[in-house]
Amino acid sequence: MSNELLDIKKLETFFYTRAGIAKAVNGISLSVDKGEIVGIVGESGSGKSVTGFSIMGLVDPPGEIAGGSIKFKGEEIIGQTEEEWRSFRGAKVSMIFQDPMMTLNPVLRIDTQMIEAIRAHEKVSKKEARRRCVETLAMVGIPSPAERIKSYPHQFSGGMRQRVAIAIGLLNKPDLIIADEPTTALDVTIQGQILSEMQTLCRKTGMALIWITHDLTVIAGLAHKVAVMYAGKIIESGNVQEVLDEPLHPYTHGLIGSVPSRNKRGQPLYQIPGMTPSLINIPEGCSFRMRCPHADEICMKEPDETISDNGRMVRCHHPL
Amino acid sequence: MLAFLIRRISQSVMVLLVMSVLVFVGVFYIGNPIDILIAPDATPAEYARAVKELGLDKPMLDQYWIFLKDAVHGDLGNSFVYNEPALKLILQRMPATMELAVTAMLMAVFIGIPLGMLAGIKHDTMLGRSIMRFSILGFSLPTFWVGLMFIILFSVQLGWLPSGGRGTTVELLGVPVSFLTWDGIQHLILPAMNLALFKTSLAIRLSRAGVQENLQMDYVKFAKAKGLSNTRIIGLHVMKNIMIPVITVLGMEFGGLIAFAVVTETIFSWPGMGKLVIDSIGVLDRPVIVAYLLITVTMFIIINLLVDIIYSILDPRVRLGDHN
Ligand SMILES: Nc1ncnc2c1ncn2[C@@H]1O[C@H](COP(=O)(O)OP(=O)(O)OP(=O)(O)O)[C@@H](O)[C@H]1O
Ligand code: SF4
Ligand SMILES: [Mg+2]
């Protein structure tokens, strides 16, 4: 029996816009084991959210999954019927979004929005559902949850709202939670609290977690594995500590260089030159070519994935 | 809440006062009613007596002052034509107008909102586009023309529905109404549809825009991510969000519906206050015109106040007094 929960192979999600085809996710492969915490890191627009939405079957038109496979517990989920998707979402995999101010419905009470999430998947009485909701709110650190559950979203602070959203994600005890930058909109202390709470929750419940962020430091203390995305591709992945200590891809190296740290205090931060390429006209060859200090003629050819014995993957002709 | 009410009521009194001055000056200058009211062969003595009786010999300011003093006591003067209190005449006709306006509003709500939501959900289908075309027509065709076409089509050509009057009425709580008899309903359909057309188009537009805007929102995507069915997302989550602005705007428009009933009532000879005021303008029956306008403005004010209160009940984020 394999320990593998999610297995993404050569996934392609394209947006067919008027300006052309935006290859937001361009052939990524990624696997998540049961109980594993995986970080996806990348600049804005690199395709992190679209990856999450693809797993949830929530890519809105003009976007579409154009190819590849996503297996959940060994079964293909791409091409499920709408009803299969519905019963999959929120029950087997949950997703939490970036902006806690926007994810809850402003005109419905919290209890309405929580109880319906349980009853969408299970035939339980409202009373029993409410009991479970209160319990879950307590678990994510909402004080006096039995009273607070009757509030409207605007009566909560941003941090509390994000906790409510996380609680909603946890309600049906999914095997996997996809957290799409859930703490970027919050201040640093709250960020830290939520992060460590999530980690504890995963350990306690055996739930797997995909944590999407553009902030490498967040991943460092949290995840087992990290995948670095650039222009719709995963350009490097592997054990978090190894990737951070010894990045193989020039882009990852640049990312680490641009993070302030104790032993580099006083030195200027490294800035990756240039900008993310437009996903509509990705240059031929390595997509990082224009910004890479090591680029040469070979890089005019698209590099393949190289996987080493210890499971580290890199897409570069001249790994560091 | 109390402070809010007091503020609103004192504002309303100011509005009514200003309004009464404007109306008074207005009717003063549209013509002298005596020329219409009195027989053309009257002697100068008779003429002078009639002028004195109606109080038209006094300066405008004095006339206004008398009017205001009486108005405070609930007396808006007697009609020159019927020689009955203007207020009473209008209140007698009010139920007919209200019945027409309420029916038209219900049509707009129960036809316009579902059609608009449908058009928003299926915006790039034939159905969605057809609904939008209908609403464009409803917006741009003049009410009186549509009314005439209704009569030509449904009454004259097809002979399905009567073209005027209220039909048989029965008393409901002492007020005569048409909608409780089959004959009355038949009389009500055409004028109500005519009056409802514009507001239905408005309801379609508002709900369609609301649905399209809301479907883009994160909370809808999050609701999908919870595994909710589309029926519940549209029927509860989106619906509750669009109802707030749609009901608010339609509520505000209800006053306009009463005012616009003038046109429809005239076309369909519906015996409401709109028809009364048009007739009164024809004979320069000043007290009735002034009373009608003041009553309509008062109704506008009351409706807007009610809408504000309902809005604050519907939207949990709003507390009365926070907004103004
Ligand atoms: N609705 C859409 N229409 C067209 N293109 C889209 C749409 N949504 C996403 N894309 C394309 O997909 C790319 C990746 O978007 P995505 O939201 O996944 O980025 P991200 O990595 O999550 O960035 P961020 O850190 O800003 O959230 C965008 O740059 C854009 O080109
Ligand atoms: S393949 Fe070439 S251009 Fe791309 S990252 Fe490696 S060295 Fe740089
Ligand atoms: Mg994103």
Q: Which pTM was predicted?
A: 0.82
Q: Which of A2-6, A56-60, B23-27, B297-301 has the lowest mean pLDDT?
A: B23-27
Let me know the angle formed at the C-alpha of B298 by B295 and B304, rounded to the nearest 5 degrees.
140
* Token pair of B268 as six digits: 């369909």
| Co-location of B26 and B157 in the same domain | no
* pLDDT (tens digit per residue) in A60-75: 988 999 998 999 998 9
Mean of the pLDDT values across residues B252-274? 88
| Co-location of B124 and B258 in the same domain | yes
| Co-location of B150 and B249 in the same domain | yes
Give the residue carrying structure tokens 């490498």: A216
| Co-location of B201 and B322 in the same domain | no
Cβ-based neighbour number of residue A165 at 10 Å = 25
Give the residue carrying structure tokens 């008393």: B171
Indicate the pLDDT class of residue A228, thresholds 50, 70 and 90.
very high
> Chain B interface, mutation test: which of A54, A86, A87, A105, most B Cβ atoms within 10 Å?
A105
**Could you tell me which residue, B29 or B144, shows the higher pLDDT?**
B144
Percent of chain B with pLDDT over 70: 98
Q: Is the CB of A226 under 6 A from ligand 2?
A: no
Q: Residue A243 maps to which CATH number?
A: 3.40.50.300
Q: Is the CB of A289 under 6 A from ligand 2?
A: yes
The answer as to whether A183 is a domain residue is no
Helix (H, G, I), strand (E, B) or coil at B87: helix
Give the residue carrying structure tokens 């559902």: A129
The answer as to whether A181 is a domain residue is no
Q: B121 — contact with chain A (CB < 8 Å)?
A: no
Mean of the pLDDT values across residues B166-182? 80
* A26: β partners: A12
Q: Which value, to the nearest 10 degrees, does the dihedral of the CA atoms of residues A209, A212, A217, A218 take?
A: -50
Nearest-Cα distance to chain B for A308, in Å, is 36
Which of B246, B271, B296 is at the close of a domain? B271
| Co-location of B224 and B138 in the same domain | yes
Nearest-Cα distance to chain B for A256, in Å, is 32
Between A58, A102, A108, which is nearest B224 by CB? A58
Given a cut of 80, whether residue A15 has pLDDT beyond it is yes
The answer as to whether A99 is a domain residue is no
Given a cut of 70, whether residue B302 has pLDDT beyond it is yes
The answer as to whether A203 is a domain residue is no
Which residue of A294, A297, A304 sits with most ligand 2 atoms within 8 Å of its CB, as the best mutation to test the pocket?
Answer: A294
Mean of the pLDDT values across residues B65-79? 82
Measured from the Cα of A294, ligand 2's closest atom is 7
Given a cut of 50, whether residue A306 has pLDDT beyond it is yes
Mean of the pLDDT values across residues A288-309? 86
Distances in whole angstroms, Cα of residue A120 to Cα of each of A39, A125, B22, B234, B283: 29, 12, 60, 15, 67
B225 chain-A contacts, CB cut-off 8 A: 56, 58, 89-90, 94-95, 97
pLDDT of residue A194: 80
| Co-location of B239 and B310 in the same domain | no
Given a cut of 70, whether residue A260 has pLDDT beyond it is no
B217 chain-A contacts, CB cut-off 8 A: 102
Mean of the pLDDT values across residues B308-318? 81
Count of domains in chain B?
Answer: 2
Q: Containing H/E element for B94?
A: helix B86-107
| Co-location of B156 and B239 in the same domain | yes
> Could you tell me which chain B residue has the CA closest to the CA of A53?
B225
CA distance linking residue B80 with residue B286, whole number of Å: 8
Indicate the pLDDT class of residue A261, thresholds 50, 70 and 90.
low
* pLDDT (tens digit per residue) in A80-136: 999 999 999 999 999 999 888 889 999 999 999 999 999 999 999 999 999 999 999
Answer yes or no: are the C-beta atoms of A72 and A6 closer than 8 Å.
yes
pLDDT of residue B248: 86
From the CA of A320, the nearest ligand is 2
Q: Is the CB of A288 under 6 A from ligand 2?
A: yes
| Co-location of B110 and B250 in the same domain | yes
Indicate the pLDDT class of residue B324, thresholds 50, 70 and 90.
very low
Q: Where are the alpha helices (DSSP H) in chain A?
A: 48-56, 82-88, 100-103, 110-119, 126-139, 145-148, 158-170, 188-205, 216-220, 240-245, 250-257
CB pairs under 8 A between A and B: 76
Given a cut of 50, whether residue A10 has pLDDT beyond it is yes
pLDDT of residue B105: 93
Q: Is the CB of A290 under 6 A from ligand 2?
A: no
Nearest-Cα distance to chain B for A231, in Å, is 24
Answer yes or no: are the C-beta atoms of A41 and A216 closer than 8 Å.
yes
Axis crossing angle, helix A110-119 with helix A126-139, rounded to the nearest 10: 110
pLDDT of residue B321: 59
Helix (H, G, I), strand (E, B) or coil at A320: coil
Q: A318 — contact with chain B (CB < 8 Å)?
A: no
CA distance linking residue B128 with residue B134, whole number of Å: 10
* Token pair of B289 as six digits: 């015109």
pLDDT of residue A80: 92
> What residue type is assigned to position B285 of the chain?
D
Question: What is the 3-state secondary structure of B255-309?
Answer: HHHHHHHHHHHHHCCCCCHHHHHHHHHHCCCHHHHHHHHHHHHHHHHHHHHHHHH
Answer yes or no: are the C-beta atoms of B315 and A107 closer than 8 Å.
yes
CA distance linking residue B207 with residue B120, whole number of Å: 7
- Residues in B 202-231 with any Cβ partner in A closer than 8 A: 217-219, 221-229
Host domain of residue A75: 4-33+43-83+215-314
Percent of chain B with pLDDT over 90: 29
Q: Return mean pLDDT, chain A.
A: 87
* Token pair of B53 as six digits: 């009786």
Q: Name B200's Cβ contacts closer than 8 Å, sequence gap at least 6.
A: B107, B108, B111, B112, B115, B135, B138
Mean of the pLDDT values across residues A153-172? 90
| Co-location of B9 and B55 in the same domain | yes
Mean of the pLDDT values across residues B264-279? 89
Q: A107 — contact with chain B (CB < 8 Å)?
A: yes
Which of B251, B271, B291 is at the close of a domain? B271
Give the residue carrying structure tokens 């890479």: A292
pLDDT of residue B323: 44
| Co-location of B140 and B266 in the same domain | yes
Indicate the pLDDT class of residue B16, thresholds 50, 70 and 90.
confident
Q: Is the CB of A238 under 6 A from ligand 1?
A: no
Host domain of residue B136: 94-271
Percent of chain A with pLDDT over 70: 93
Q: A86 — contact with chain B (CB < 8 Å)?
A: yes
Q: What are phi and psi of B21, to 5 degrees?
A: -60, -50
Q: A103 — contact with chain B (CB < 8 Å)?
A: yes
Smallest CA separation from ligand 2 atom 6, residue: A316
Say how many Å lie between the CA of residue A54 and the centre of ligand 1: 12
Which residue of A16, A178, A211, A279 sits with most ligand 1 atoms within 8 Å of its CB, as the best mutation to test the pocket?
Answer: A279
CA distance linking residue B284 with residue B27, whole number of Å: 8
Given a cut of 80, whether residue A278 has pLDDT beyond it is no
> What residue type is assigned to position B262 of the chain?
V
CA distance linking residue A57 with residue A82, whole number of Å: 9
**Could you tell me which residue, A92 or A182, shows the higher pLDDT?**
A92
ipTM, interface predicted TM-score of the complex: 0.89
pLDDT of residue A268: 61
Find, among B141, B307, B110, the residue nearest to B203 by Cα: B110
Where is mean pLDDT largest: B36-50, B74-88, B138-152, B216-230?
A: B216-230
The answer as to whether A133 is a domain residue is no
Find, among A29, A26, A12, A20, the residue nearest to A71 by Cα: A29
Find, among A85, A77, A67, the residue nearest to A7 by Cα: A77
Range list of β-strands (E), B90-146: none
Put simply, the answer to whether B228 touches A116 (Cβ < 8 Å) is yes
Given a cut of 50, whether residue A279 has pLDDT beyond it is yes
Nearest-Cα distance to chain B for A107, in Å, is 6
**End-to-end C-alpha distance for chain A, whole angstroms:** 36
Helix (H, G, I), strand (E, B) or coil at A247: coil
Give the residue carrying structure tokens 């008074």: B24
Q: Residue B235 maps to which CATH number?
A: 1.10.3720.10
The answer as to whether A119 is a domain residue is no
Mean of the pLDDT values across residues B14-29? 84
Give the residue carrying structure tokens 């222009």: A231
Indicate the pLDDT class of residue B200, thresholds 50, 70 and 90.
very high
Q: What are phi and psi of B243, to 5 degrees?
A: -60, -35
The answer as to whether A291 is a domain residue is yes
> Chain A interface, mutation test: which of B124, B125, B214, B222, most A Cβ atoms within 10 Å?
B222
The answer as to whether A152 is a domain residue is no
B210 chain-A contacts, CB cut-off 8 A: none
* pLDDT (tens digit per residue) in B153-166: 988 888 888 888 88
Nearest-Cα distance to chain B for A212, in Å, is 16
Given a cut of 80, whether residue A190 has pLDDT beyond it is no
What are the DSSP calls for B181-195, one per residue?
Answer: SHHHHHHHHHHHHHH
Mean of the pLDDT values across residues A272-293? 78
Given a cut of 50, whether residue B193 has pLDDT beyond it is yes
Indicate if the alpha-carbon torsion angle A99, A102, A105, A111 is positive or negative: positive
| Co-location of B234 and B282 in the same domain | no
pLDDT of residue A264: 55
What does DSSP say about strands A313-314 and A20-33: parallel, antiparallel, or unpaired?
unpaired
Count of domains in chain A?
Answer: 1
**End-to-end C-alpha distance for chain B, whole angstroms:** 13
**Could you tell me which residue, A283 or B92, shows the higher pLDDT?**
B92
